[in-house]
Structure 1
């Protein structure tokens, strides 16, 4: 089986291609008649035409394109249609050179109308080569004047002859009989040959019919009706419907007749396709919205019309969703019946897994839910129907499939999906489907242009500002900075549709601008982290280790100086660990401020407040505890100051231990996770550690945590035992004797 893959247009910098349909005018024909030339280019073109010919458009997807059709420049907006016309011309060259010439002339006319000044890359060479080919065909024709007004009639006559010659009506019947009989199991080559021939013939007829239709557009309606009879129109429409199975697809030909692919007959696939059908609650599509003959309208057609997704993206995601549903249904069990139905459990599993990040994002912010979000929040009693779940699922994958590099902003996609879901909820209340306001522009409806392009262009501008990686980390925004912007409620300031005047969408100033102009540029800077290359990272990144080692060294040294005796004097000296701890935490808070330089203006308010709160707290705590300890040493252990110091130090240590248990032990962490919506719980967690969106739920299991703690207790116990008994104790005893 040949698998054909769609091509979704997602450019490096998204843009809109305006397709200008051109006519086959008299001036173009005159230029074609008068063209002269040849030379080396003409010889190259003739050599190409003598090469291997390519059949139908479907077969061309699996084989390399040769001949003049293989050099159609991609800069032409309608290059695929021009390739099809030239392939058909190459196919029928030996059958009727005159018809082949007409097709080449029409292809040249399309190229001329699409790019009259030959400004696109390779367009001038292509036009020159195509002129040489037409010139060769004109030179080989028999004498006489060419009456180009009879081109449409000749195409119709050849259409009828070609159709009868290849017995189009019998081609499909023969193939169906061969498939149903099962004889082909021993001769797969015969079936493949018949299928290839049918596709080639139908693809050629499709090109002939499209050329006839395009040529008649230049003529008055009355004259066009006289040239093409109603019977001929019906025949051409019938043949066009038969060519639907040559539409490009990945694995499942959903836009094609199912008889050509056995996968479509699987019960799970049929159930998944049936689940996506247009249901009663959806607004009606306009009558002029194109739906393939081989299938009925479905949910993705509705989303295609409302948000302006690309056609190939819609086709890809249709197969994607069908595969996910069919695979999940096969895990739950085989569906039975003549008309299989997808299981509710399969839909719910796919829905929950696919939108898991979006659900967590909604719960994390949190914001006032609406529509879909009400049914997703914990404790909600509202249930989504199977059809609604599939509709939101399709919308999410369509957004993802056309997001280009914005896929690297998962929470940014959640923001886009959230607002598009709200728009869709409003449209669902109407009787007739209407385009979404966020995707409407002067030239049509396009999700790529109106939603993705503005965001991508800012990302591309920032990437171009990094000086090939040599610029400082604080000088440009990377994907993390863009994505972390959507971790707070401030992201809703960019609005919907996008507020392009918001600083978030401001591009970096060009380097040739003066410093004064750069200073006036109110561009959104780093979000929450700026990399500073300094040796201070040795302490800042491992502050817990430094604090622990220094306090253990201080405590063991005090015990060693007192010969291991635990009396009031030893306890009084061991309490000096309190000032040591708060002073080192004060140093850590100072480094937190220094490491945030360059991101203060754009960091979240909670992150800035936490840093300055910790700085103020440890500043006051270090001064107060140091003062109390020095005063307690002066007044003695029986003084009130010593008791106050003892109570303050004990209370602070108790609170720290309690918070550490809640946030470090996995079992307690699971208990506090559902209480994240409580203000007090969020305050305690915020004071202890900044709660970022990514990584907040990453913790090990209880058994693994116990093993981890026991391992380090053994290692550190052995280390400090060795350090105390074999290093500090002996050295300090000798030092004490020497001092005495």
Structure 2
């Protein structure tokens, strides 16, 4: 044997001899080998030690280990095929552990080339064909119903790998016709023994115990009711310019509702398998909770309705927020349970393929809203309301949902992540998931259309591209930073006042009132009921108006960067708040200056307020008007059911009142404690503040 070289020369791939001839020959020892070698009596190759970059050859090595006791020569051919494939994947052995692995495998092949000989034929091509035929007849075809599903899955996998190896050893024109027929049969039936999580839905042979449960059978029966569904019409285009619609006759069987949805909307097969099992288990688990009998054949309609309410709670809330009707439509005389299962299945398939878009729940609502409309139109509408043509899904074809719906949205998210620059960029310079999701909190999202218009402002970025980014391959361009939606962080210490404005205002006004009372001649808190002291205390409203003006001004300044994406009504609210606060800063001082000249006592002051209100000072009425919004807010605060109803209401007058009180947001609406909890909370703070103010007045 030649000694190994210490260089890192590129490995020379061992070449097979001409097709049909034996593989027996001496292999070339190359520079990929390491000093010291491997012992000749090493055990069978452990396929679990394959480098991560060569993981695709693992099944081949496992098959070689499995069949080696039966036919060592065919096992050698499998390992040789694995070696060739490994060399194609990494010709220079650059991957971690690849060079050592190839050296180990090459030693093994050199040894087996000399020690193994064909047993069934004179040549390797004949040997592997005869072994494949024997394996198929003895393992695959013989008594499949008596074997467990996991055993049959292993047999079919070995048969599939053997055929792949056979095609590399035997020229295509030399393969027996019988072998090709066997291989086609294996490929057709292999999917029945595919991997599964919990439910072996396509198991052949002994039925697993879990598939005999009545709730599982009932769920399967409900999903497999597809006889009344129309055959999907598939859109086919020969060229990009020609968009002809035609019906393709595909040899695709529809076993259940999810198969039908997959064919119509173009979801991924892996997603289909996962969500099918997911929905079956959900139906079975919900249905078994309310069942008393042991055997039953149908899923209860209440169970399906429970899932509907659970899945579409947020979607219905989203539709109510945008004041649009939901697309959860049901025909008058149709099968309601089937339609409900179609809607649930559609939502699960959307969610299962959404990737990072799952972090944008209202975006998922928008996608489902349009696809549910298509679903109902395909089943129960003869023509599209806009075009008049036959109703069809906007995205069709294998993996079309991922390519045409999810990928464009994901690319927008990816661009924003690039702007983050590893967390070093200011929050105001890029949009996170929440900012992108808030785009779907307004009716503006419907301008995207369906199919989504790639030229809409959600996708378009118009800023000049960074030349440095353009020089990098596969680099996402930066583009124009679309304005943040509702909130842009501005770092300033003024947030201490703006975020806790009510607390600051209360303590400043309380301090002013205590100073006025303490500086009167008596110094007693009861001096508040004296006319002059009481009128002096009323000056706190001047301070209140000034602090309120400061708070509104900070709102305008600190939200300025978000104005580019705010709705006109939101901007109008900021401006009106600022104008009203400015008016009170002027009006209240004028009213107070006119009220100081009133010489009446406290009792007469209150009696005049009730009995002769027309002659009262302007300042008194100004205080009442100034306090009106706060009094209404306090009333609503102490009535949580009323507040919850108002925040969720779509009445114009209620929406106007709530619009003035706070910005309308999708999240947090109607989230309030019950009245008893609110009462305990209020009493705690009242007692705490009374104690705090009393201590401050008498001690501090």
| Distance 1:38-1:659 versus aligned 2 partners, 3 A rule | same
Q: CA deviation at 1:679?
A: 1.1
Once the two structures are superposed, the pairs formed by residues 114-193 of structure 1 within 5 Å of their partners are 151=125, 154-163=127-136, 169-170=142-143, 172-173=145-146, 175=147
**C-alpha separation in 2, matches of 1:267 and 1:298:** 18
Q: Partner residue of 2:250?
A: 288
**C-alpha separation in 1, matches of 2:542 and 2:205:** 79
Q: Partner residue of 1:735?
A: none
**C-alpha separation in 1, matches of 2:503 and 2:192:** 66
Q: Partner residue of 1:622?
A: 585
Once the two structures are superposed, the pairs formed by residues 195-344 of structure 1 within 5 Å of their partners are 199-208=153-162, 227-229=176-178, 243-244=190-191, 246-257=193-204, 259=206, 261-284=208-231, 288=250, 290=252, 297-334=255-292, 337=295, 340-344=297-301
More displaced stretch, 662-671 vs 697-706? 662-671
Q: CA deviation at 1:346?
A: 0.9
| Distance 1:26-1:275 versus aligned 2 partners, 3 A rule | farther
Contact 2:145–2:206, Cα closer than 8 Å, also in 1: no
**Structure 1 gap segments, 5+ residues each:** 1-23, 55-64, 177-194, 515-519, 729-740
Q: CA deviation at 1:288?
A: 3.4
Q: Partner residue of 2:236?
A: none
Q: Partner residue of 1:656?
A: 630
**C-alpha separation in 1, matches of 2:624 and 2:360:** 46
**C-alpha separation in 2, matches of 1:336 and 1:215:** 57
Q: Partner residue of 1:353?
A: 310
| Distance 1:371-1:472 versus aligned 2 partners, 3 A rule | closer
**What is the SS of the residue equivalent to 1:598?**
helix
**What is the SS of the residue equivalent to 1:471?**
coil
Q: Partner residue of 1:4?
A: none
Q: Deviations over 1:2-38 (max 9, x none)?
A: xxxxxxxxxxxxxxxxxxxxxx998999999997444
**C-alpha separation in 1, matches of 2:440 and 2:182:** 56
**What is the SS of the residue equivalent to 2:482?**
coil
Q: Partner residue of 1:19?
A: none
**C-alpha separation in 2, matches of 1:280 and 1:48:** 63
Q: Partner residue of 2:502?
A: 544
Contact 2:287–2:299, Cα closer than 8 Å, also in 1: yes
In structure 1, which of residues 699, 720, 724 is the aligned counterpart of residue 672 of structure 2? 699
Q: Partner residue of 2:429?
A: 475
Q: Partner residue of 2:490?
A: 532
| Distance 1:668-1:500 versus aligned 2 partners, 3 A rule | same
Q: CA deviation at 1:256?
A: 2.8
* Residues 1:588 and 2:551 aligned together: yes
Contact 1:562–1:570, Cα closer than 8 Å, also in 2: no
Contact 2:394–2:450, Cα closer than 8 Å, also in 1: no
* Residues 1:709 and 2:666 aligned together: no
**C-alpha separation in 2, matches of 1:409 and 1:592:** 27
Contact 2:647–2:669, Cα closer than 8 Å, also in 1: no
* Residues 1:84 and 2:41 aligned together: no
**C-alpha separation in 1, matches of 2:489 and 2:320:** 30
Q: Partner residue of 1:611?
A: 574
Q: Partner residue of 2:5?
A: none
Q: Partner residue of 2:458?
A: 504
Contact 1:481–1:526, Cα closer than 8 Å, also in 2: yes
**C-alpha separation in 2, matches of 1:249 and 1:502:** 41
In structure 2, which of residues 354, 364, 369 is the aligned counterpart of residue 413 of structure 1? 364
Q: Deviations over 1:718-739 (max 9, x none)?
A: 2223334x248xxxxxxxxxxx
Q: CA deviation at 1:542?
A: 0.6
Q: Partner residue of 1:643?
A: 617
| Distance 1:528-1:431 versus aligned 2 partners, 3 A rule | closer
Over the residues paired in the alignment, what is the CA RMSD in angstroms? 4.5
* Residues 1:558 and 2:516 aligned together: yes
Q: CA deviation at 1:128?
A: 9.3
**Structure 2 gap segments, 5+ residues each:** 1-15, 233-247, 384-389, 471-477, 601-607
Q: CA deviation at 1:50?
A: 5.3
Contact 2:45–2:61, Cα closer than 8 Å, also in 1: no
In structure 2, which of residues 316, 327, 330 is the aligned counterpart of residue 371 of structure 1? 327
**C-alpha separation in 1, matches of 2:625 and 2:419:** 51
Contact 1:268–1:334, Cα closer than 8 Å, also in 2: no
* Residues 1:570 and 2:528 aligned together: no
Contact 1:269–1:326, Cα closer than 8 Å, also in 2: yes
TM-score normalised by L of structure 2: 0.77
Contact 2:644–2:671, Cα closer than 8 Å, also in 1: no
Q: Which has the higher contact order (CA 8 A, sep 6+)?
A: 1
**C-alpha separation in 2, matches of 1:32 and 1:595:** 80
| Distance 1:503-1:717 versus aligned 2 partners, 3 A rule | same
Structure with the bigger percentage of helix = 1
Once the two structures are superposed, the pairs formed by residues 657-672 of structure 1 within 5 Å of their partners are 657-663=631-637, 665-672=639-646
Q: Partner residue of 1:66?
A: 48
**C-alpha separation in 1, matches of 2:546 and 2:499:** 17
Q: CA deviation at 1:700?
A: 0.7
In structure 2, which of residues 436, 440, 443 is the aligned counterpart of residue 489 of structure 1? 443
| Distance 1:558-1:381 versus aligned 2 partners, 3 A rule | farther
Q: Deviations over 1:472-501 (max 9, x none)?
A: 111111122112222112222333333333
More displaced stretch, 36-45 vs 472-481? 36-45
Contact 1:632–1:641, Cα closer than 8 Å, also in 2: no
Q: Partner residue of 1:186?
A: none
TM-score normalised by L of structure 1: 0.74
Q: CA deviation at 1:342?
A: 0.9
**C-alpha separation in 1, matches of 2:41 and 2:51:** 12
**What is the SS of the residue equivalent to 2:493?**
coil
* Residues 1:95 and 2:51 aligned together: no
**C-alpha separation in 1, matches of 2:140 and 2:257:** 38
Count of aligned pairs between the two proteins: 637
